[in-house]
A and B are shown apart, each in its own frame.
Chain A
Amino acid sequence: MSIGILILLIAIVPALWKRSGTFVILWFLGSAFLAFEYMEVLYSRAVQDYLLSMPLPLGDIHIGLNKLSAFFGVIFSLGLPLGMLYGHFYLKEHASEALRSHLFWLGIMGLSMHGLLWIRHSLVFLMVWELMSLSSFFCVLFSKQENLKPGLNYLIMMQVGAAFLIAGFGLSYLQSGTFNFSGFEDMNPLPMFLILVGFAFKAGVFPFASWLPQAHPVAPSHVSGIMSSMLVKTGFYGFLVIVSANRFSLREIIAMSLIFCISAFWAVSHMLNERNLKRILAFSTIENVGIAGMGMCLGLLGAHAKLPGMALMGFCGAFLHIFFHSIFKAQLFYNSGNIMHGGGGLDIDNLGGLAKKMPKTAVFTLLGVMTISAIPLTNGFFSEFNIFKAALEASDAVMLTHLLPSLLILASLAFIGALAMIAFFRFYGIAFLGAARSARADMATEAKLGLRMPIFILSLGILITGIFPNIPLRFVKPLLRWFDLDMHYYRELQILGLQITYVYVILIALFLLLYVLRRVCVKEKSSATWACGYPRVNRKMQSSSITFVQPLAYFLKPFMIKKSSVMKQPGAFPEQVDYSEEHPDQVWEMIVTPLSKLLSRMLLLFSGIHNGRTNSYIAWALAFLVLMLIWVAGFR
């Protein structure tokens, strides 16, 4: 098929010899070849199409690329080698005897992610999908005992998702008579719904997203970065495969937009309360998938309402958000690895004052935080700009049923965006600014050059795509055309992008002017923070992560379930009071845990079958055969 995949296959050999350096170099090389191939498909008329004839259960296997998979392919081939590079340096810091298996599974995971994009045959797709789930499970494990539970939880969730996919693919086969993706066109609603649910498990959409905040915090940072920024996107790729081949009824579109809104809001309400940095980032992945989904829904609504501008801007916002999210989320996760390593933990209440101890990480993280809160000058702003614009474009719609969902998306996106901004400024303010909140954070050290290098490259990507939005616009252009959208509005977006660049130039010039003026005019004196009569501010007096969201938590109480406990010594003047609060994931507490308990209790009923006597086993087999005979005979 291609030399790129071949190189990536060869990369597994040095992985087996624990040569992570060679492994990474091979990954860079292979990804370069692959990226070239994807770009070719994306920008020219070049076609990658193969037909593999196999024995009957499989039939003719269609392998190839189209614009959609090439788009995701470019994202993967840019992001994966950087993740591997970060992993190389990360693994040096966290030496583990499991290096061999970890590298092996890392390679398999990357390969299967690429493989998914090539395969256009649902059975083989499922195999690769399972391989991807399995290999990422092993990557999460990282041979640590405490990772087993969240890891297994992830694997089981993926299996349940795969069950939905199997059912959906099977029904679609019954309908169309082919396993190839060409059979996905104009599907019946049931298989379509099943497949979408199956992909939603991977993409991290609300009721099925409980694995993200559990698996990400325990996984090594490069794995959580790759998973959160790219692996999750394979679920979204699945959505788009279905969306591109089917027409949706208005009711379905509205249902989807509601789900994405709820998903994003649910995630953001958790982000506001979370103390663990990686859990914040994991929830933020759910939120960002929700935002990209909102863009997609706006696009579908626009197409349904025959508003070409809205359709284009909605889809454009969704694609751009997917692309940008793969950059900034990876950047933030790699940063979180550096913070954990340098600052001694992930609990933001134990960090604090890192900006002084780790100045470079602080600047990178600030950039990531700004992007994820969609602040101008960064790329996150431009994708949300598109989605907002699409939602406002709905004003030309004639039917209320088109208007109301887009207004809902408009308001909830603004609300969710603001809450996400609060959550991330809270994280940055508490972890990086002020004084150190624990003795360990006082001894924080800057991360090594190698650990900062991939982050630097990603940050450069954020700035370039942020300040010159026309570059990423050109990247999504073939995809927009492939989705059959009105390119007239694309030119309008291009002009907008240029104007935004001009505004940024003015902004930066003004800022530099004022800043230089200050540097020239002002003499600085340094003194302790003013503390209203206290001799000095100590680190316990700073605003903590809980107090910071208190005003909002008061208001959003119905959405934030809290378990708090106070430990107090008896007596009128207790010397020590311990207060702790916890914000459990509602879906996990209320649905997943009771469901799995119910399931295991039900399975207990059948445990009597397993009695260890051979003759009874033979009896079961005989009974089964008899039943089968009756069934088959009955049908004849």
Chain B
Amino acid sequence: MINILFFIIFPLLFMGIIHRVKAIMVGRKGKPISQNMRDFLKLLRKDEVISTNATLISRVAPAGALAATICAALFVPFVNSNSVLSFRGDYIMVVYLLSLAKGMMVLAALDSGSSFQGMGTSRELSFTAFLEPAFFLIIAAIIFSVGTGSISELFARQSITYLRIWDVFASLFIAVALYIMLLVESCRVPFDDPSTHLELTMIHEVMVLDFSGFSMALIHYTSALKMFIYASLIAHLAVPANNIWWYLGILIFIYLFTGVLESLMARFRMNRNLELVLVPFCIALLTLAVLLAKNMGAW
């Protein structure tokens, strides 16, 4: 229950941290952390403008995407390391629920017939092609390290304990891979710039150009929740013994770090992006290879 409350309230507040950090880094005061939440509530009360091309899909998709993402979040450990739902092999379900959400948004973007949105979807989808195998390999690596179970069990068991050097190694590597996935999936800076105002260079934001009002609120919330899911998974990897304060601290650190990263880095060239999206895949492969070698008794 505490998990549900947690992931309902906090995703947008945590997004606020990034904005605040970015503002401070460039010397502005920045908007309050709760601003995203207020925007969300305001958008919920607004009416919508819908494209004349739009069909039922545009009307259904934001709700469907959010429902699927919430369902995925039910499997993910947040403050409480026991997730609301879990069964053996639910990680496959999580991956595919997230891809259901993405699929919904992709179709909704194509629905308006805008050339920009088509561009955005093709970019977003081509990232997926490399992220899905990466996620499965990450899961496989964790399974090698700690045995099978549900996603919450896996991430609770796999954590940094200083007694076992291999766990530290595996956790850190997987955390890096997951962090890059987080940046790609929630379209943060080196891959995409959410604050850009040129449609040609956008990815996620351009997909939702034609949405407004209530649907827009749902979409904002969906992407914040997705980022929150990844951040929470990373935090659980890095927390020793499921300590709540450590968990919260690392969660905040991830958002702070993302903010700092965004202020310090420029985005990458668009057509080279895909090569970098391969990085988590490679890291996962490497981790897996090393764990395999270890299990086979190489060391």
Q: Decide: A375 and B100 in contact? CB cutoff 8 A.
A: yes
Interface-side segment among A43-51, A285-293, A503-511: A503-511
Q: Decide: B129 and A434 in contact? CB cutoff 8 A.
A: no
Q: Decide: B55 and A376 in contact? CB cutoff 8 A.
A: no
User: Which of A374, A527, A551 is the most central at the interface, judged by chain B CB atoms within 10 Å of its CB?
Assistant: A551
Q: Decide: B85 and A555 in contact? CB cutoff 8 A.
A: no
Name B's interface SS: helix
Q: Decide: B122 and A530 in contact? CB cutoff 8 A.
A: no
- Which of chain B's residues have a CB closer than 8 A to the CB of A526? 49-52, 54
Q: Is A532 an interface residue (CB 8 A)?
A: yes
Give the A-B contact count at a CB cut-off of 8 A: 255
- Which of chain B's residues have a CB closer than 8 A to the CB of A410? 133, 136-137, 140
Q: Decide: A510 and B113 in contact? CB cutoff 8 A.
A: no
- Which of chain B's residues have a CB closer than 8 A to the CB of A389? 89, 92
- Residue of A391, A496, A500, A550 touching B122 (CB-CB under 8 A): A550
**Known contacts A434-B118, A551-B122; can you find 12 more A-B pairs with CB under 8 A?**
A353-B113, A375-B99, A375-B103, A392-B136, A395-B143, A492-B88, A507-B68, A511-B67, A528-B52, A529-B210, A552-B125, A555-B126
Q: Chain A's nearest CB lies how many Å from the CB of B141?
A: 9
Q: Decide: A418 and B210 in contact? CB cutoff 8 A.
A: no
Q: Which residues of B contact A (CB under 8 A)?
A: 44-45, 47-57, 59-60, 62-64, 66-68, 70-71, 74, 85, 87-89, 92-93, 96-97, 99-100, 103, 106-107, 110-119, 121-123, 125-126, 128-133, 135-137, 139-140, 143-144, 147-148, 199, 209-210, 213-215, 218, 271, 273-275, 285, 288, 292, 296
CA distance A398 to B64 in the complex (A): 43
Q: Decide: B106 and A425 in contact? CB cutoff 8 A.
A: yes
Q: Decide: A551 and B118 in contact? CB cutoff 8 A.
A: no
- Which of chain A's residues have a CB closer than 8 A to the CB of B122? 426, 543, 547-552
- Which of chain A's residues have a CB closer than 8 A to the CB of B49? 524-527
Q: Decide: B87 and A496 in contact? CB cutoff 8 A.
A: yes
Interface-side segment among A102-110, A443-451, A515-523: A515-523
Known contacts A376-B68, A411-B133; A422 and B60 CB within 8 A of each other: no
Q: Chain B's nearest CB lies how many Å from the CB of A273?
A: 13
- Chain A contacts with B in 535-568, Cβ cutoff 8 A: 537, 539, 541-543, 547-552, 554-555
- Which of chain B's residues have a CB closer than 8 A to the CB of A543? 110, 115, 117-119, 121-122
CA distance A573 to B144 in the complex (A): 62
- Of all chain A residues, which has the CB nearest B64? A511
CA distance A112 to B287 in the complex (A): 52
* 0 or 1 for each of A404-428: is its CB under 8 Å from B? (1 = yes): 0001001110110111011001101
- Of all chain B residues, which has the CB nearest A370? B103
Q: Decide: B89 and A395 in contact? CB cutoff 8 A.
A: no
CA distance A373 to B95 in the complex (A): 13
Q: Decide: B53 and A529 in contact? CB cutoff 8 A.
A: yes
Size category of the binding interface on chain A: 35 or more
- Of all chain A residues, which has the CB nearest B275? A555
Q: Decide: B296 and A400 in contact? CB cutoff 8 A.
A: yes
Q: Decide: B209 and A537 in contact? CB cutoff 8 A.
A: no
User: Which of B51, B117, B125, B139 is the most central at the interface, judged by chain A CB atoms within 10 Å of its CB?
Assistant: B125
Known contacts A385-B93, A434-B110, A511-B64; A542 and B118 CB within 8 A of each other: yes
Known contacts A392-B148, A523-B47; A529 and B113 CB within 8 A of each other: yes
- Which of chain B's residues have a CB closer than 8 A to the CB of A555? 126, 274-275
- Residue of B63, B112, B292 touching A514 (CB-CB under 8 A): B63
Q: Decide: B59 and A499 in contact? CB cutoff 8 A.
A: no
CA distance A366 to B218 in the complex (A): 22
- Of all chain B residues, which has the CB nearest A437? B113
- Residue of B63, B110, B140, B209 touching A433 (CB-CB under 8 A): B110
- Which of chain B's residues have a CB closer than 8 A to the CB of A428? 107, 110
CA distance A240 to B50 in the complex (A): 52
